[in-house]
Amino acid sequence: MVIREALINGKDGCCNSDGDRQTTQERRERISAAVKYAWEAYRRDALGYDEFRPLSHSGTNMTQQGIGYFVADVLDTLWLAGLQKEYAEARRFLVDHVTYNQTGSVSLFETTIRVLGGLLSAFHLSGESDTQLLHLVDELGTRLAYSFETDSGIPPETASLQHQKHVYAYQSSTAEISTLQLEFRYLAKLTGKRRYRKYVDKIMDVVLKAPKWDGLVPIYFNAVTRRFTGDTIRLGSRGDSYYEYLLKQWLQTSQTEPRFREEYDTAMEGVKKYLAAVSPNQNLTFIGELLSPNNANPEFSPKMDHLVCFLSGNLALGATQGRSLAEMSPLELSASNREDLVLARELAETCVRMYFDTASGLAPEIAYFRWTNPATGVEKPFDINTQLVKPNGDILVHASDRHNLLRPETVESLFILWCITGEAKWRDYGWQIFEAFEQWARLPDGHGYSNLLDVTVVPPQHADKMETFFVSETLKYLYLLFSDSSTVPLSCYVFNTEAHPLPHFAWNK
């Protein structure tokens, strides 16, 4: 019914009055100012360092020289937020001071999604004419690609920046080996170097042949046996972006590689069958975890990482391929796509409640939900005095999970849902979340923003870290949430898992 109403109303995300437009512009400018505030703190206290510690006014590196980790990751956010002066100084630092011809090892996954992805996106958004940026990204791609030279083609989790005679991989994170493809495939398209595509396509060849559990997979992959391994199936850490990139690989190459969409659809049916559940009091739809899936009676756990909140936007994106409902006929949506849109909306509401039900208005890193086993009618026990966030609520937070890293997944989904449905409430939710970040995570005197240790108390204590993804993802998605949907149209771009927009393209025959 809700989907049908959105189609009938013809909402496309545009503001309906001069007052709406003024409010939207003011909010967008506030978010742009937040990007600038975060960048200026980093530039003053830690420019050139890979990570930023705002309380100690310092930075740390991942290699002896650093790899431009922070700067590359935030570069396209500076561009999109209209901060041309800041973009120019960030770009100048990268091309003048960063080289990947150095010793040291880095995370293959994190460096690919943040640095390679950030450089690729900035190169595209700035006009695809910046040869110095392209040279830098090609140099990095060459060195990261050494890690693909294993017997199976499955890379280890750590990449050496110098060529090794023998690269060996045993067990790797499922998400980490299957979340390299958008970046290397686009690099292959830009440079004409087919080996980049060959490497990451080989990974998918191996992964897609491995046995699965109705499309669902455990969170580790054994490169020797070429099978998934581990006792947990989840869409949180180490599992999330495997499912995300199945859909986005299909979208990236203009829907010309159906095997990725088919595998994605199978997996989403598995999610709806085994992992989706509803809490008893607040009727919150959540995505749990499956423990010991190879046992005769696998156990369901009502645990959901904040990371899982990406799924809401991904489901909506898959349902319409990024098109707004206003431009579609109801007949264009299959029954399965309608189900996915309903689940997307319900899950987004749950993710928002993870924010609004805490004292600070910000979400914990992990939540558990009150849940009644449908087979026995017995509710899973919990400690009402130490875990329940809201009286008579359904969200439970363990003491060790109450921190907030200023993550993007919820606002990512709000942005996608706003683009697709045009409903103002997604913007309203996003603004409330932004204001909570401003109230509790913003440091005084120009020192940027900081992670929080416990969102269930006010004021929450700060941690000495400002993650690169707060600027590259969280603030970017918030900025785009209050921008025209044509700024980065979802029907023409895929966002990598670090929020770097990459254009759709077709392979040359």
Residue 299: what are its φ and ψ, rounded to 5°?
Answer: -100, 135
Catalytic residue among 86, 340, 365, 454: 365
DSSP per-residue string spanning 47-90: TT-SEEETTTTEEE-SSSS---HHHHHHHHHHHHTT-HHHHHHH
Exposed/middle/buried for residue 229 (C-beta within 10 Å: 0-12, 13-18, 19+)? middle
Question: Residue 295 corresponds to which amino acid?
Answer: N
Q: Please confirm, yes or no, whether 18 is among the known catalytic residues.
A: no
Q: Please confirm, yes or no, whether 435 is among the known catalytic residues.
A: no
The dihedral through the CA atoms of 151, 242, 117, 127 has a sign that is positive
In the structure encoding, which two tokens stand for residue 153, read together?
A: 């083609």
Q: Are 203 and 153 in contact (CB under 8 A)?
A: yes
Torsion angle of C-alpha atoms 498, 502, 508, 509, degrees rounded to 10: 50
Helix 2-9 / helix 335-356 crossing angle, nearest 10 deg: 100
Angle at Cα 90 formed by Cα 88 and Cα 91, nearest 5°? 65
**Half-sphere CA count of 52, side-chain side, radius 13 A:** 29
Q: Please confirm, yes or no, whether 412 is among the known catalytic residues.
A: no
Residues 6+ apart with CB under 8 A from 285: 276, 277, 278, 343, 346, 347, 349, 350
DSSP per-residue string spanning 17-50: SHHHHHHHHHHHHHHHHHHHHHHHHHHHHHTT-S
Cα gap 330→334, rounded to integer Å? 9
Give the residue carrying structure tokens 């909306």: 345
Q: Please confirm, yes or no, whether 110 is among the known catalytic residues.
A: yes
Catalytic residue among 50, 110, 201, 263: 110
Cα gap 177→238, rounded to integer Å? 10
Coil, helix or strand for 224? coil
Question: Residue 344 corresponds to which amino acid?
Answer: A
- Annotated catalytic residues are 110, 240, 365, 409
